[in-house]
Structure formats: C-alpha cells, structure tokens
Structure 1
C-alpha cells in the first residue's frame, strides 16, 4: 500500500510544482506587458512645434505634432514671420516658399522629404499648379509620397494660392 501512496504523493508534488512554475511565468509575462505599456505610453506623448509662434497662436494651431514615429504638419503657406502673404500672384514662388518652411520643420525633427509619406496640396488655381509642379521633382528625389491635390475656392488669406500639408514617418 505504501508504493501507491508514494507515487500519489510524487504526482501531487509534481503537479503543484508545475502550477507554481506556470504561475511565475504568467506573473513575469504580466510584468513585461506592464513595462511595455509604460514605454509605449511615454513614447506616444505629443511633441508640438511652432514655426512662427505668434502667428500660430493668433490663428489657433500648431505647425506640427509628432506622436511616436508619426509627424503631422499643418498646411504651409507663403508668408513672412508676421503672417503677411509673400510672393503675391506668383504660384511657383509661393510653392517654393511653402517647401522651404516645410523643410525647416522636417529638419527640426531630423527628417528629410524622403520621410514624407503623404502630401496634400490645396490650390486656388489647379491649372497653374500643374504647370509649375515640376519643381516638386527637386524636393522628392527618391520618389513621390501619396497625396491629394485639390482646387479650392479660397485659402485662409485671399493672396494665398497654394497650401501644402505633410504626413511624415520617421524611422528610428
């Protein structure tokens, strides 16, 4: 009779040990998930960037917001540091001014136009925009991003003829 009792005792001990190891593994997995969750939450805190703080505060927007590896850049228009339109009536120069501002924002985040994944262009004159759009090949040397071009009735200030916004993915 003692042999079956010893076997039963050994089986019960093995079962208890197996449960203990499983419980420890489960606890370790939960702790790992908590740490991963904390890291994820910290890296997803928005980082705001103002190119022209006074102008952007007056109009109520941030020029760019970075969350994780994604950066959303508000539409750039051709303006000076006080918010006055520049290159009035010259869509090509307005486009170049927009890209110059966008480049400053990209550089702030350590990016280039190669990191742009989406570009949306709003223009008050699509025919002129199409005519002058070859300039974009100087900006996007390694291929164009996705995007949409829209002709609109007007932009924030009547003298603005083009507005360009970007979405960027920064590889880490």
Structure 2
C-alpha cells in the first residue's frame, strides 16, 4: 500500500488556493507549478524572465531536497512561459544550465498570462525517486 507524503513551502498561497507543492506516492513525486517566490511567499522579480527562472529552479531544488531526490531523477517538466517567442532562448539556456546532461521529457507552453501580475514563468514537474540519483 502506498502512502501519500505532501510537501509545503509554508507560503500563504498554499492555503489561499488549497494545494500542496508536491505529493509523493510510492517512488513518484508530482510537483505543482513552481515560481519565483521567497521563503515568506513573496513574489520576486516581476517581469524579469531570467531572474524568475533562476529563482523558480531554486524552489524546485527545495522540493527535490525535501524528498532526497536529485535533478537526475526528474522525469518530466512543463514550462509555462509568457511571451514565449521573446523568452524561448532564455528558457532553453536556463533549462540546459539546470539539468546539464540529464534530459527529462519537456513541454514548453506559451501562455497569455500566469497567476500573478508580472509572473512570466512557472514550472511543474514529476520525479521518480527509484531512478539512480
């Protein structure tokens, strides 16, 4: 029998919207869209794609660290990008920098807007902790 282990960054939005940042069931971890916020839940870097992407990957690392997982165990990711044509090269560069030689399945979607004013990127992903780290 699988048990469910939910993870929280303990930021106000989790209660306001009623969601978990991640849920682990067995060896699989499903992660809600991560974005550029600090430890207090304050949104950072409005309109700055590169800075938001860097902070979003740092928040992804917090989720991975909680579960003792690594970037090499990420199976898939979905990037939601405002102004995709303008930000595609920066998204690719950030992705390559974050994952190095690891190549998870990836979908990039251009969107009109995201939840917060000035938010230009969000990333959800899935992890298999049974893969080699």
Same fold (TM over 0.5): yes
1:140 to 2:99 alignment: yes
Give unpaired runs (5+ residues) of structure 1. Answer: 1-40
3-state SS in 1 of match to 2:20? coil
Larger proportion of helix: 1
3-state SS in 2 of match to 1:94? helix
Larger proportion of strand: 2
Structure exhibiting the larger radius of gyration computed from Cα positions: 1
3-state SS in 2 of match to 1:117? strand
State which of 51, 58, 73 in structure 1 corresponds to 2:9. 51
CA distance in 2, matches of 1:90, 1:46: 36
1:161 to 2:103 alignment: no
Residue equivalent to 2:75: 117
Does the CA contact (< 8 Å) of 1:91 and 1:128 recur in 2? no
Give unpaired runs (5+ residues) of structure 2. Answer: none
CA distance in 2, matches of 1:108, 1:142: 23
Q: Deviations over 1:8-64 (max 9, x none)?
A: xxxxxxxxxxxxxxxxxxxxxxxxxxxxxxxxx1xx111000012433112211000
Tell me how many residue pairs correspond in the alignment.
Answer: 130
Q: For residue 88 of structure 1, report the CA deviation from its aligned partner.
A: 1.2
Residue equivalent to 1:65: 23
Q: For residue 92 of structure 1, report the CA deviation from its aligned partner.
A: 0.7
1:86 to 2:44 alignment: yes
Residue equivalent to 2:60: 102
CA distance in 1, matches of 2:46, 2:17: 20
3-state SS in 1 of match to 2:119? coil
Higher RCO by CA contacts (8 Å cutoff, separation 6 or greater): 2
- RMSD of aligned Cα (Å): 1.4
Instruction: Give the structure-2-normalised TM-score.
Output: 0.90
